[in-house]
């Protein structure tokens, strides 16, 4: 164990830099970009933590991970113990350590952040989770005596997986129904391999399977059985975690041309269907030379970085506001810039132009300027008249957000939704307007984050357990 | 993994596959479709429902070899398995008793109009069925359609069986002769659906067509299946696959179907040259229309 060092000394330690693939190498492969911290790096980084009594970082974490607690275990070199500590409140640390926006959650609140750089909480989280998994130290959780209650979970994204993990431990009989042929939700079909290797998601699902969770993939609830029919089949409670999976389009002329994808389609072809590996997998994907990705969020960054890896000469982000308003994580924007992604800020397309084969070849755009703030508090982009210009593009990916898929809502009488079609719930219990039916994740909030979905799952699992323990009406 | 009860060749490049998926069959209705994945590396291919056997829980799909995945499907043995069969997807065909209804099936479209004809019949309609193909050896389901239809018209482009000509010719003649057809469902190659929709518009007979754009998930998640109907964008997998034929933009559909032509051909070539793949002679000698095998 390293000696506990004085606070003053600790503050002199420089924040750990995670080693990563060089940009010129990584744009030619789909391997993960950062390699992760070494054990020494992790211990040194852990030593930076001041173990604050009223740790403000915990307030910044949507699921209140005991951050100083797990960091302290790293100092004691009990890496697997640290991972287990996180798992008390966050069931997906290997995922969250990679994709959570720590810079605006826990790390921004870290007391060190004011004068120095914050503790690299995300890097440490990833390190301990990887250590535990790679050394086969993941324990199959103990399961309580069977309660005889059956729970159906619809959708296997972070929300559904979290509910499944919590309820199986409590002795309930849990079945996850997933529309696609693999579980994981956006973690498998959306977020690319180079940011979240799919074997990590698979490992999380395998642990759930080994704990007793049943997975029924390729089962679209609402088309196969409805929510009411699940009750008839003997399920006592149901959790809906179907995500925000209905892609928005621009609604401008030429959008039906070949070479215009929604981000969902582009990323699904590449990630879930593994089109990037054309020798071994059958699903085709268009590999553009001049690729424009419309939008400024994580999805847009994932799509544009994918396009570069699929061989584009020029990959552009086309965003109607300025860089300051981009909702993507700072780290993703940084990685994208390193990889040579070209940013066209304050630009919006108004028309796609095709050739005689119906393939997109150009895009007409307008320049924008920022006006007064809109509803979202961000300054509203206003077109500059007469600023039209043409961009040559042979692939366009529309990444301007998703709405909720209406499949469950439209087949479940009495299930209340808001004006955007999201399911409304009691925020304390995640219960919907239907007794025994709970919902959480993007289907409730609209597109949000992995950890918010997982947090909603935690809350719902507690409420479902209470509901079932009090003798759910048959 | 779903079990394939049998997978039988019924035409030069046409196969009939029955898959044991009882829960799916219990929910499925005429006009819907499923998505099949043959193996782990495979594409997700949409296939219309061509028959439902509720008692045995069997789904029938009839498919034509047009590329790599459909060729691979032919290699699934009786009693074998496929990775996935998800569904029922899409909306069921609209069925009511209009009096007299007509189904028009061209080529592989002969298959999906069969359960629809059955549903029309069950609803109390007099059913007129018109089925056609390029030539006699490609035709199938004459007997099945004959058992359901009150009037069956068979045609071939080359006159080798039944009426010499297109399904649309027969339909025009019937309409001209004043057949009291109140509703038409036409499924087949895009040019055929386009022509049928064009002629029935003149006679002002409502006409459904079932659209077959490229799909990925089949649940409304990707938007790859978008089609233009009445100037609006619709997702065929959830808003369809049936649409008002008089409002469909067939040009957009035709063009979008060609999105991956080069990649598809490369993949098929590679498969056909793979000596390890258990393809029948007919499949191995597959050529694209207008292409000569050296
Ligand atoms: C490209 C991309 C990048 C992102 N990057 C980040 C990031 O870096 N950090 C971050 O925190 N967040 C990120 N997000 C957001 C995050 O992934 C989501 O907020 C989160 O996955 C939502 O989880 P969920 O469980 O609610 O739903 P989802 O992950 O969307 O999963 C829902 C699942 O339900 C299934 N389903 C839907 N309908 C049915 C049905 N009727 N029957 C059965 N199954 C059904 C779907 O197929 C899907 O698998 C990103 C999102 C995208 C699209
Ligand atoms: C709702 C729906 C129902 C369908 N029902 C049937 C059916 O019952 N029987 C059947 O044989 N086929 C059906 N299809 C078409 C079938 O899905 C395609 O033939 C199949 O995906 C081709 O895959 P492949 O790898 O063999 O050929 P590919 O090499 O991918 O394609 C070869 C050629 O077929 C055309 N093609 C590819 N995909 C489609 C498609 N989705 N629709 C039409 N043409 C396509 C392409 O234009 C291409 O030139 C249906 C399609 C949809 C969307
Ligand atoms: S705020 Fe920073 S220094 Fe304080 S406990 Fe949290 S991570 Fe450690
Ligand atoms: S196939 Fe993906 S939305 Fe229709």
Residues A70-82 as b/e (b if ≥16 CB within 10 A, e otherwise) read bbbbbbeebbbbb
Partners of residue A363 on adjacent β-strands: A352, A391
Which ligand 2 atom sits nearest the alpha carbon of residue B65?
A: 26
Q: Which ligand is closest to the CA of A95, given by its number? A: 1
Residues from A contacting B (CB-CB < 8 Å) are 179-181, 189, 217-220, 223-225, 245-247, 249, 251, 255-256, 258-259, 261-262, 264-265, 268-269, 273-274, 278, 280-284, 286, 357-358, 405-407
Q: Strand A342-344 vs strand A347-354: parallel, antiparallel, or unpaired?
A: unpaired
Among A390, A388, A389, A370, smallest CA distance to A380 is for A370
Q: In whole angstroms, what is the distance from residue B100 CA to residue B178 CA?
A: 12
| φ/ψ of residue B36, rounded to 5 | -110, 140
SS3 at position A88: coil
CATH of domain B3-89: 2.40.30.10
Structural domains of chain A, with CATH: 2-134 (1.10.1060.10), 150-245+404-469 (3.50.50.60), 248-401 (3.50.50.60)
Q: Which ligand is closest to the CA of A100, given by its number? A: 1
> What's the CA angle centered on A428, arms A427 and A432, to 5 degrees?
55
pLDDT at B288: 85
The single residue listed with the structure tokens 């933590």 is: A49
Per-residue pLDDT of chain A (474 residues; tens, 9 = 90+): 455 677 777 788 889 888 889 998 899 889 989 899 999 999 999 999 998 989 999 999 988 899 999 999 999 999 999 999 998 888 889 999 999 999 889 999 999 988 889 999 999 999 999 999 999 998 888 899 999 999 999 999 999 999 999 999 999 999 999 999 999 999 999 999 999 999 999 998 999 999 999 999 999 999 999 999 999 999 999 999 999 989 999 999 999 999 999 999 999 999 999 988 888 888 989 999 999 999 999 999 999 999 999 999 999 999 999 888 899 988 889 999 999 999 999 999 999 999 999 999 999 999 999 988 888 788 889 999 999 999 999 999 999 989 888 889 989 999 999 988 999 999 999 999 999 999 999 999 998 999 999 999 999 999 999 999 986 554
What is the average per-residue pLDDT within B258-274? 88
B15 close to ligand 2 (CB < 6 Angstrom): no
Decide: B10 and B139 in contact? Cβ < 8 Å. Answer: no
Please give the distance, rounded to the nearest whole angstrom, from the Cα atom of residue B69 to the centre of ligand 2: 9
E strand segments, chain B: 3-11, 14-20, 33-37, 45-48, 51-53, 58-64, 84-89, 100-106, 126-133, 151-156, 163-164, 183-187, 207-210, 226-229, 232-235, 242-244
Domain boundaries, chain B: 3-89, 101-179+186-203
Nearest to A220 among B43, B86, B255 (CB): B86
B111 close to ligand 2 (CB < 6 Angstrom): yes
B10 close to ligand 4 (CB < 6 Angstrom): no
For residue A373 the two structure tokens come to 């703030």
Dihedral angle sign, alpha carbons of residues A57, A63, A69, A75: negative
The single residue listed with the structure tokens 């830099």 is: A17
Residue A26 CA to chain centroid, in angstroms?
21
Residue B292 has pLDDT above 70, yes or no: no
Among B113, B154, B144, B138, smallest CA distance to B241 is for B113
The CATH label, of 3.40.50.300, 3.40.50.80, 3.40.710.10, 2.102.10.10, for the domain at B101-179+186-203 is 3.40.50.80
Residue nearest to atom 3 of ligand 4 (CA): B220
Cβ-based contacts of A245 with chain B (< 8 Å)? 219-221
For residue A473 the two structure tokens come to 């009406």
> What's the CA angle centered on B272, arms B266 and B275, to 5 degrees?
130
Q: In whole angstroms, what is the distance from residue A20 CA to residue A41 CA?
A: 14
Q: In whole angstroms, what is the distance from residue A221 CA to residue A227 CA?
A: 7
Tell me if A258 and B68 make a contact (CB, 8 A cut-off). no
């Amino acid at each position: 164990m390293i000696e506990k060092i004085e606070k003053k000394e600790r503050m002199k330690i420089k924040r750990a830099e995670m080693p990563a693939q060089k940009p010129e190498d990584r744009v030619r492969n789909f391997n993960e970009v950062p390699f992760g911290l070494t054990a020494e790096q992790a211990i040194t980084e852990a030593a930076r933590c001041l173990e604050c009594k009223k740790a403000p970082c915990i307030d910044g974490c949507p699921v209140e991970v005991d951050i100083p607690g797990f960091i302290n275990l790293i100092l004691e070199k009990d890496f697997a113990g640290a991972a287990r500590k996180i798992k008390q409140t966050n069931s997906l640390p290997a995922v969250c350590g990679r994709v959570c926006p720590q810079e605006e959650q826990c790390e921004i609140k870290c007391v060190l952040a004011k004068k120095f750089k914050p503790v690299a909480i995300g890097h440490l989280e990833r390190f301990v989770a990887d250590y535990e998994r790679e050394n086969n130290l993941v324990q199959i959780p103990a399961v309580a005596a069977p309660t005889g209650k059956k729970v159906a979970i619809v959708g296997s994204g972070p929300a559904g997986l979290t509910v499944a993990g919590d309820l199986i431990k409590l002795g309930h009989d849990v079945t996850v129904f997933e529309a696609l042929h693999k579980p994981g939700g956006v973690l498998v079909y959306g977020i690319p391999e180079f940011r979240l290797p799919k074997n990590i998601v698979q490992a999380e699902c395998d642990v759930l399977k080994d704990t007793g969770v049943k997975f029924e993939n390729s089962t679209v609830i609402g088309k196969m059985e409805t929510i009411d029919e699940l009750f008839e089949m003997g399920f006592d409670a149901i959790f809906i975690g179907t995500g925000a999976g209905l892609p928005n389009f621009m609604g401008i002329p030429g959008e039906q041309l070949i070479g215009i994808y929604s981000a969902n389609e582009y990323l699904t072809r590449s990630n879930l269907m593994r089109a990037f590996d054309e020798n071994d997998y059958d699903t085709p994907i268009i590999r553009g030379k001049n690729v424009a990705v419309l939008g400024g969020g994580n999805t847009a960054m994932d799509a544009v970085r994918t396009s570069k890896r699929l061989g584009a000469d020029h990959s552009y982000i086309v965003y109607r506001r300025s860089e300051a308003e981009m909702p993507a994580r700072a780290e993703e924007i940084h990685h994208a810039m390193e990889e040579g992604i070209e940013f066209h800020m304050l630009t919006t397309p108004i028309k796609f132009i095709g050739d005689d084969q119906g393939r997109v070849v150009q895009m007409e755009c307008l320049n924008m300027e920022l006006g007064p703030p809109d509803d979202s508090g961000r300054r509203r982009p206003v077109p500059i008249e007469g600023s039209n210009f043409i961009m040559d593009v042979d692939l366009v990916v529309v990444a301007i957000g998703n709405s909720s898929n209406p499949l469950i809502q439209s087949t479940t009488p009495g299930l209340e939704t808001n004006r955007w079609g999201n399911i409304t719930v009691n925020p304390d219990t995640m219960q919907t307007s239907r007794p025994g039916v709970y919902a959480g994740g993007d289907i409730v909030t609209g597109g949000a984050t992995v950890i918010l979905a997982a947090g909603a799952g935690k809350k719902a699992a507690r409420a479902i357990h209470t509901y079932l323990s009090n003798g759910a009406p048959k | 993994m779903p079990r394939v009860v049998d997978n039988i060749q019924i035409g030069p490049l046409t196969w009939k596959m029955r898959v044991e998926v009882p829960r799916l069959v219990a929910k499925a209705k005429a006009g819907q479709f499923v998505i099949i994945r043959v193996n782990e590396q495979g594409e997700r291919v949409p296939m219309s429902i061509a028959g439902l056997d509720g008692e045995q829980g069997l789904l029938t799909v009839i498919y034509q070899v047009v590329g790599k995945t459909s060729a691979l499907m032919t290699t699934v043995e009786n009693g074998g398995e496929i990775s996935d069969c998800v569904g029922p997807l899409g909306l069921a065909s609209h069925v009511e008793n209009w009096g007299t209804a007509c189904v028009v099936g061209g080529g592989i479209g002969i298959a999906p109009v069969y359960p629809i004809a059955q549903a029309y019949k069950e609803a109390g309609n007099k059913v007129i069925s018109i089925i056609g193909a390029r030539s006699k050896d490609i035709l199938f389901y004459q007997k099945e359609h004959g058992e359901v239809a009150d009037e069956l018209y068979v045609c071939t482009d080359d006159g080798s069986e039944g009426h010499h000509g297109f399904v649309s010719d027969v339909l025009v003649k019937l309409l001209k002769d004043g057949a009291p057809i109140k509703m038409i469902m036409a499924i087949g190659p895009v040019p055929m659906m386009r022509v049928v929709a064009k002629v029935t518009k003149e006679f002002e007979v409502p006409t459904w067509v079932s659209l077959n754009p490229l799909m990925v998930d089949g649940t409304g998640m990707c938007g790859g299946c978008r089609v233009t109907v009445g100037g609006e964008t619709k997702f065929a997998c959830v808003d369809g696959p049936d649409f008002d034929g008089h409002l469909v933009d067939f040009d957009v559909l035709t063009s979008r179907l060609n999105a991956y032509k080069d990649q598809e051909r490369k993949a098929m070539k590679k498969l056909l040259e793979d000596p390890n793949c258990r393809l029948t002679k007919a499949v191995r000698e597959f050529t694209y229309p207008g292409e000569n095998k050296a």
